[in-house]
Chains A and B, each alone.
Chain A
Amino acid sequence: MATTIKMPQLGESVTEGTIERWLVKEGDTVEQYDPLFEVVTDKVNAEVPAEVAGTVTKIIVGDGQTVKVGTPLAEIDAGDDAGEQPASEDRAPAQVPEPAPAAVEVQAPAQTEPEAQPPRAGTQPELAAAAAEHETSRVQAAFNNGHEADGGPPTDASMRMTPAVRRLVREHGIDVARIQGSGAAGRVTREDVLSFVAQYGASAGATAPAPAQAAPTPQPVAQATPSVPAPSAPSPAPAPAPSAPPQAPAQTFAPTPVPPPMAGDTEIALSQMRKGIAAKMTRVKQTVPHAYTVVEVDMGNVVRWRAANTDSYTAREGIGISYVAVVIKAVTETLRQHPMVNSQFAEDRVILKQAMNIGIAVAVDNGLLVPVIHDADQLSISGVNRKVQDLAARARTNKLRLEEIQGGTFTVNNTGWFGSVSSMPIINAPEVAILSMEAIVKRPVVIEVDGADVIAIRPMMNMTCSFDHRVLDGAQVGYFLADVRKRLESWDLNTPIG
């Protein structure tokens, strides 16, 4: 059987060698360890011996040639059964390193079966697997046996959170139970939290508009004229929330049983957004006592102002003037005088928010997002207007940035665009109030002209304010709404758009 003689690796980190000269020729017979050829490398010059006895049948690489370690150089026919496995197991040194009392040269003994430099790929995984058990796993096993198993990933995804996950849910005010975990054993990973936040916002699942009431009369009615303070007169607010302090954790109730689907029914899996909305709405409704106040606003002056400015504005900016922007400006100005309406309830105290970050509810595919206009009070009408357009557009195309869905202190909900004249929005907790602006409808109303009652046709818009009755009372909200209404009704034709 033929044995192939390959270029040996004669020194550590040597990668090639040059055949100085062959000491045998084709047809020669050799004994085991007879010298075959002289080789020159950049570290060592040596004679290389035959691994096996036999006949040199072929010389592949000739004198003077330089080849890489491992290149076949010659063939030796060992005859019948001589030399099955060449001395690859006992690596006979071609050059015995000089015995050294201290320093030994690195030129290791020549190997007759050289291998390329990085670890032998084939054997490594086996050896790695066969390797002594990692000390860590031994220690881990012992520890786990003596303690609750918490070496592996948490099994109860909602309970076990890594520091990163804990921090992120805390920073973004997320209920981690709502997040689907993609980690081992269903663990909510950092990535899961970040994706969730990016998609649905910090206080995800903002208020959805409540179903519109059939009757135009909103319930309850709190009609306050600006000049009439409503001190002790009990405001016809709805039954106030129980005076007992609200429970800190949301009380969860067993869901209503639903009969199994029947033929023809279609099941729709809940999207991540839908789950978020469902969870949030449920929680807010269960923990925040809502009360409602409605006012009617004569938008005549606003309409006129808008008509007068639209053309020039559109020519300048390329977009129209949205009523939402006008209402937001009126609201921010009014909030300055009613700071309690721009606050947050924190169980044992109320935090008045300095900033005026107005959220606007935007309907998106199968869901809802509430991007926030930060510091809306510091923007001109045009500034707010542009922001409204931009945020709405990007909300629909899912291009909002994280900071744009966080930090809201009050929300304005435009329900009017689809014709609603009355709605009872769910508060965007942790805010304490939300305002919906209904459709502007031309109606016959009674106005006073020169002391006499006359009927006029006016564009009327209802505004409903849902409020957290733990913080606000009907009168406060009444005053607030009255002031907003006053601003809108006395809108100056010369109001600069900015």
Chain B
Amino acid sequence: MPEQNILEAIRSAMDEEMERDERVMILGEDVGKKGGVFGATDGLWAKYGDKRVLDTPLSEGLIAGAAAGAALYGLRPIAEMQFADFVYPGFNQIVSEISRFRYRSNGTFGVPLVIRMPYGGGVHGALYHSQSNEAYFTSTVGLKVVAPGTPADAKGLLKASIRDPDPVMFFEHKKTYRLFKAEVPDDDRVVEIGKADVARSGKDLSIYCYGYMRFCALEAAETLAREDGVEAEVVDLRTLRPLDTETILASIARTGKALVVHEANRFGGFGGEVAAIIAELGFEHLDGPVTRLAGPDVPGVPFHHNLEDWFMIGPARIVEAARDLAAY
């Protein structure tokens, strides 16, 4: 199996899907000749041409709305938001329209599109290039929200998202784009949306995470095993909506202790939903308080590396939180 980083895996997914299904097209700012500001669509414009890898004007409302219209018509558009931070002009289209078309038409209209969202901090991007704003979308009924943490998952889930008849917000943590390489199937393997992955088995506590936090949690788990003899189970949610409640609860039944980790700010963050589900449905298995480790409640990642380091969650913070919980 070839080894790819997440960015390459994403590109492979788009390439393969575009080849497989001529209804698939990409639109966004700088996606064409430039190949995207991260290089995600590098080479695709040359291969598929102007009409299928379309550079749009600087209008996120347009990107979302035109993608919606094209999806209604019967295409499978992949819209790229240059940064998740800039999705807001398109928020009206995403929430008012895209998420509701199917419901309001009683099933006759569907919007099979994907909106790719580079998100997350740790890249010196400050307040407007580092946001983790998945919570706006996880709380929007009618959308699906996906956040892979490995190259294989990125590829498989993007394929699944493109093929899904419903709109998918596809969150790509930009810090993971080139962070590491791993094996990626070079065939047509699809990773099912709505299924979490137990990345590491353990009996002492469950760490629920997604995106870049998977990488950090696995590293933290190694440290915990080595230094504290604590065996952490790492559950990579992979899909945020719909949530794999079954896997979440199976894990808490095994360990009794839940640590929910995400980079986005704590209050109102997605971790609250996971924690509530665990507390409500997994109550009889709890051997410790359901705990969240999340970003601080400030309106964005500050720039200076001291400030950014203060903000960002990494393996060390996860180890600390896990230790406390394990000792309860």
Q: Within the complex, which residue of A12, A121, A130, A153 is in contact with B125, where a contact is CB–CB below 8 Å? A: A12
Q: Interface residue tally of chain B, by bracket?
A: 35 or more
Across the interface, name the chain A residue whose C-beta is closest to B312.
A119
B122 touches A119 (CB 8 A): yes
Q: In the bound complex, what is the Cα–Cα distance between A153 and B38 (angstroms)?
A: 48
A128 contacts partner chain B, Cβ-Cβ < 8 Å: yes
With CB as the reference atom, state the residue of chain B lying closest to A105. Answer: B37
Docked pose: A104 CA to B177 CA in angstroms: 18
- Given A163-B283, A184-B328, 10 other A-B contacts at CB below 8 A? A12-B124, A13-B174, A15-B178, A43-B39, A105-B37, A106-B125, A128-B310, A162-B256, A162-B286, A167-B284
On whether the beta carbons of A132 and B82 are closer than 8 Å, the reply is: no
Known: A162-B286, A184-B328. A190 touches B178 (CB 8 A): no
Q: Give the distance in Å from the alpha carbon of A195 to the alpha carbon of B182 in the complex.
A: 39
Q: B272 contacts the other chain (Cβ, under 8 Å)?
A: no
Interface residues in A96-140 by Cβ distance below 8 A to B read 102-106, 108, 117-121, 123-125, 127-128, 130-132, 135-136
Contact B296 A132 (CB under 8 A): yes
The answer to whether A123 touches B309 (Cβ under 8 A) is yes
B123 contact set on A, CB distance < 8 A: 12-13, 106, 108
Task: Say which residue of A13, A124, A163 sits within 8 Å of B177 (CB atoms).
Answer: A13
Given A128-B316, A164-B256, A184-B327, are A190 and B287 also a contact pair (CB < 8 Å)?
yes
Looking at the assembled complex, report how far the CB atom of A150 sits from the nearest CB atom of chain B, in whole angstroms: 10
| B288 within 8 Å of A (CB atoms) | yes
Report the minimum CB–CB distance from A7 to chain B (whole Å).
16
Number of interface residues of A (CB under 8 A): 39
Q: Are B328 and A153 in contact (CB under 8 A)?
A: yes
Chain A at the B interface: mostly helix, strand, loop or mixed?
loop
Q: Is B276 an interface residue (CB 8 A)?
A: no
- CA–CA, A127 and B287, complex, Å: 30
The answer to whether B266 has its CB under 8 Å from any CB of chain A is: yes
Does B179 sit at the interface, judged by CB under 8 A? yes
Q: Does B175 contact A (CB under 8 A)?
A: yes
Expressed in whole angstroms, the Cα–Cα distance for A42 and B174 within the complex equals 16
Cα distance, A395 to B129, chains bound together (Å): 64
B267 interface residue per 8 A CB criterion = yes
Distance between Cα atoms of A153 and B285 in the complex (Å)? 16
Would you call B61 an interface residue if the criterion is a C-beta within 8 Å of the partner chain's C-beta atoms? no
Taking the nearest CB of chain B, how far is it from the CB of A133, in angstroms?
10
Whether B129 pairs with A106 at a CB distance below 8 angstroms is yes
Does any Cβ of B come within 8 Å of A229's Cβ?
no
Quick check: B179 and A163 within 8 Å, CB to CB?
no
Q: Is the CB of A120 within 8 A of B178?
A: no
B305 at the interface (CB under 8 A from A): yes
Which residues of chain B are near A469, meaning CB under 8 Å? none
Measured in the bound complex, the distance between the Cα atoms of B63 and A103 in whole Å is 14
B134 an interface residue at 8 Å Cβ cutoff? no
Q: Does A230 contact B (CB under 8 A)?
A: no
Report B221-232 CB contacts with A as 1/0, cut-off 8 Å. Answer: 000000000000
